[in-house]
Amino acid sequence: MQTKRQKFKESYLLYSFKRDKVAMVSFTILTIFLLAALFAPVLAPYDPYDTASIDIMDSEIPPSWVADGDSRFFLGTDIMGRDLLSTMLYGLRISVMIGIGAVILQAIIGIGVGLVSGYMGGKVDAILMRIADVQLSFSTLMVAIIVSAIVQLTFGVGRYEQLAVPLLVVIIGIAEWPQYARTVRASVLGEKNKEYVEAARVIGLDSKRIMFSHILPNSLSPVLVISTVQVANAVMSEAALSFLGLGMPVSRPSIGSLINAGFEYIFSGAWWLTFFPAILLIIFILVINLLGDWLRDVLNPKLYKG
Amino acid sequence: MALLEVKNLEVSFALRHGDLVALNDVSFTLDKRERLGVVGESGAGKSVTGFAVINLISKPGRITKGEILFDGKRLDQFSEHEMRSIRGNHISMIFQDPMMTLNPVLTVGTQMVETLRAHRKISKAEAEKIAIKKLELVHIPSPERRLSQYPHEFSGGMRQRIIIAIALLTDPAIIIADEPTTALDVTIQAEIMDLLLELCDAQDMALMLITHDLGVVAEVTERVMVMYAGKVIETAKTIDLVRNPRHPYTKGLINALPGHGECDQENRLQQIPGTMPNLTEIAPGCSFHPRCDYCQDICRSTVPELRQIGESKERWVSCHLVGKGQL
């Protein structure tokens, strides 16, 4: 009997991963980023949320290697005197949290709707898919503007700052679930006419069982692929919303709100405030997308290279 | 009383330009432990008959007339929920392609346990015990180990054995085998057929064997029913039917079998000319008349009834000419 570990060692997944340098580099960078985000409180030299430790006299110090730089602040400080590196680590943490949270929400709604829609067909399918179409015709930004405006009005700006993370998860999650629903539905439509589904019905299993334990596991590989891309998309959406001032407040910045905050000072010469968060965001999105591409190729049996 | 009795069954598919009648006035019985063969060309309605018995005709098809009695109960009037307790429990079905009928992402054990637990309130461990026992019945070596393997780790013949084992899990009274050996190579076919025969005997099961292979039917079944264009055209004891086919179509089928004699230019295989008509455009009269060598005026105008012919009570033929000195 092979152990799981041995099986993994001999798997095609690992084999093709080892042969693909782009995938390996992307994976390494992504792992470093995720670890950095996870351990931000440990790694960051300063705590950007601790107002007591911040000195306004330290504001707008350029990175340490530039003239006028301060060796205490490697990437410089922002206008409030916060260490940029620490703020970015915390920001990455918030961005990743919102990204993954939103994708989980999208996946739950989207997979459920797609599965029911594809399996049931007929009127149920038509209604659910039209709902998805309607949802897609609202842009994420529009939904975000309306929802955050309503929440800010009802709860006040102070409360909004506390609610921002779950709120953004819900907004991005709701706005993007049709992607999942469509992908899952397409793949369920392909699976449901296969003979093993007929066989499951002949055995006397009920529809719920057939949907969730027979069809769903067979439809998951495209879901895996779009999940990577969707995390990248969700992080981007969050950055875009924050850039427009609809996302995370400056007191608890995400990468997007850092870029936004820095953007106002770019003409006064404080380029690093926008530059480093922007680079971080670009690399983060890029490696996720590269990994997604690799995963898509690996999971596609038609591209099997042996 | 017969275990399964189908009376005047009619199945139609609602198409855009009206109903297509896939089964027309099909009646037959299946006794306990009996082995019935259902023979016919592709599209003759064999598989639909099988699916109709477990009330699983896919849309837009439906049973439009007739009765299906299992153990005296009207299956055609059962609700979906009641039907689920029959399917896979009292009546099991085996399909043609063992490569396709097992779920590729679940282990064999998972699929067997799931089937059992859908019908019995038993623990996973108990279900596994039964699964192992059934795998032994179908001669799978080291069944404990096999339970944790995925379908792709088995060969075609092994998979069909596993599918048979799944069908056996709940000790059904009837197994409907829809061309169970068509996708396998010849030596494996013989093994699987032998296995089915052995199991039917040992487990007191009735078998409804749907196939287009008369050789298999002759070997395995006791009684046979020949279908053509959605109708039963001849039914008889297998041995009588093979030795002495009465309906012109059955005669054609038997003649189309390769014999053991030398094969040369004079001894070529005989075939039935033409193809089965499209069910939407069946000519009036006997549905076989355009291909029949003996066709007469009455065949073109009147639909023949299924009549009992000769001394044997088992032999019924649907042909105007049979038994009237002409055939």
B51 to chain A: closest CA residue: A202
Q: Do B116 and B131 form a contact (C-beta atoms < 8 A)?
A: yes
The pLDDT of residue A202: 87
Q: Which domains does chain B have, with CATH numbers?
A: 1-90+181-187+212-256+278-327 (3.40.50.300)
Give the gap in angstroms from C-alpha A121 to the nearest C-alpha of chain B: 11
Residue B169 burial (10 A CB sphere; 0-12, 13-18, 19+)? buried
Is B104 in CB contact (< 8 Å) with chain A?
yes
Q: Is residue A244 part of a domain?
A: yes
Number of independent structural domains in chain A: 1
Global pTM? 0.78
Helix orientation angle between A84-120 and A21-38, rounded to the nearest 10 degrees: 110
Is B102 in CB contact (< 8 Å) with chain A?
yes
Q: Rounded CA gap, A169 and A176, in Å?
A: 11
- Give ipTM to 2 decimals: 0.78
Is B120 in CB contact (< 8 Å) with chain A?
no
Q: Which of A199, A204, A217 sits opposite B118 (nearest CB)?
A: A204
CA distances to A134, B15, B52 from A145, rounded to whole Å, are 17, 49, 56
Is B145 in CB contact (< 8 Å) with chain A?
yes
The helix or strand, by DSSP H or E, that contains position A182, with its residue range, turns out to be helix A140-191
Q: Do B130 and B144 form a contact (C-beta atoms < 8 A)?
A: no
Query: Please, what is the Cα angle at A212 between A173 and A220, to 5 degrees?
Result: 60
Q: Rounded CA gap, B317 and B233, in Å?
A: 6
Paired tokens of A105: 């929400």
The pLDDT of residue A86: 86
**Using 50, 70 and 90 to split pLDDT, how confident is the model at A306?**
very low
Mutate which of B105, B107, B166, B210 to disrupt the A interface (most A C-beta within 10 Å)? B105
Q: Rounded CA gap, B308 and B205, in Å?
A: 28
In the predicted model, is pLDDT for residue A1 greater than 60?
A: no
Is B118's CB within 8 Å of A196's CB? no
Paired tokens of B299: 């065949």
- Coil, helix or strand at residue A42: helix
Q: Rounded CA gap, B95 and B98, in Å?
A: 7
Neighbouring C-beta atoms of residue A103, cutoff 10 Å: 27
Greater model confidence, A53 or B46: B46
Q: Is residue A9 part of a domain?
A: no
Paired tokens of B266: 């004079």
Q: Which of A195, A196, A206 sits opposite B84 (nearest CB)?
A: A206
Domain of residue A224, CATH code:
1.10.3720.10
Closest by CA to A240, choosing from A209, A207, A281, A184, is A281
Reported for B237-241, long-range contacts at CB under 8 A and 24+ positions apart, including other chains, are B237/B312, B237/B314, B237/B315, B238/B37, B240/B312, B240/B314, B240/B315, B241/B315
Range list of H helices, chain B: 46-53, 80-84, 98-101, 108-119, 124-137, 143-146, 156-168, 186-203, 214-220, 238-243, 248-255, 297-301
Q: Which chain B residues touch A199 with a CB distance below 8 Å?
A: 93, 95, 101-102, 163
- φ and ψ of A81, to 5 deg: 90, 15
Q: Which chain B residues touch A193 with a CB distance below 8 Å?
A: none
Is B119 in CB contact (< 8 Å) with chain A?
yes
Q: Which of A196, A201, A218 sits opposite B56 (nearest CB)?
A: A201
Q: Which chain A residues touch B115 with a CB distance below 8 Å?
A: 203-205
**Which 8-state DSSP code applies to residue A58?**
G
Q: Do B171 and B116 form a contact (C-beta atoms < 8 A)?
A: no
Q: Rounded CA gap, B218 and A88, in Å?
A: 79
Give the gap in angstroms from C-alpha A209 to the nearest C-alpha of chain B: 9
Q: Which of A1, A196, A200 sits opposite B100 (nearest CB)?
A: A196
Q: Is residue A29 part of a domain?
A: yes
Mean pLDDT by 10 residues, chain B (327 residues): 89 86 90 92 88 87 90 88 89 85 90 91 92 92 91 89 91 91 84 90 91 87 92 91 89 80 66 81 83 86 86 86 75
In the predicted model, is pLDDT for residue A303 greater than 90?
A: no
Q: Rounded CA gap, B4 and B225, in Å?
A: 15
Is B102's CB within 8 Å of A209's CB? no
Paired tokens of A43: 């790694």
Is A199's CB within 8 Å of B163's CB? yes
Q: Do A88 and A277 form a contact (C-beta atoms < 8 A)?
A: yes
The pLDDT of residue B232: 92
Q: Which of A194, A198, A204 sits opposite B88 (nearest CB)?
A: A204
A3-15 b/e (C-beta count within 10 Å ≥ 16 → b): eeeeeeeeeeeee
Handedness of CA A129, A130, A133, A134 (dihedral sign): negative
Give the gap in angstroms from C-alpha B192 to the nearest C-alpha of chain A: 19
pLDDT above 90: percentage of residues in chain A? 22
Task: Determine the average pLDDT of the residues in A88-115.
Answer: 92
Give the gap in angstroms from C-alpha B84 to the nearest C-alpha of chain A: 5
Q: Which of A199, A204, A218 sits opposite B89 (nearest CB)?
A: A204
The single residue listed with the structure tokens 């407040």 is A249
Q: Do B199 and B29 form a contact (C-beta atoms < 8 A)?
A: no
- Coil, helix or strand at residue B33: coil
At CB < 8 Å, which residues of chain A contact B?
1, 194-196, 198-206, 209, 213-214, 217-218
Within 8 A by CB and 6+ apart from B86, the residues are A204, B54, B70, B75, B78
Q: Which chain B residues touch A195 with a CB distance below 8 Å?
A: 95, 97, 100-101
Give the gap in angstroms from C-alpha A215 to the nearest C-alpha of chain B: 9
Q: Rounded CA gap, B142 and B18, in Å?
A: 54
Q: Which of A200, A204, A209 sits opposite B85 (nearest CB)?
A: A204
Q: Is residue A291 part of a domain?
A: yes
In the predicted model, is pLDDT for residue A175 greater than 90?
A: no
Q: Rounded CA gap, A207 and A199, in Å?
A: 12
Q: Which chain A residues touch B105 with a CB distance below 8 Å?
A: 217-218
**Which 8-state DSSP code applies to residue A214?**
I
CA distances to A103, A216, B247 from A100, rounded to whole Å, are 5, 21, 70
Q: Is residue A59 part of a domain?
A: no
The pLDDT of residue B225: 94
What residue numbers bound the domain in which A267 lies? 22-35+75-303
Q: Which chain B residues touch A206 with a CB distance below 8 Å?
A: 84, 118
Give the tens place of pLDDT for each residue, A211-253: 998 999 888 888 888 888 898 888 888 888 888 877 787 778 8
Is B100 in CB contact (< 8 Å) with chain A?
yes
The pLDDT of residue B326: 66
- φ and ψ of B285, to 5 deg: 85, -155
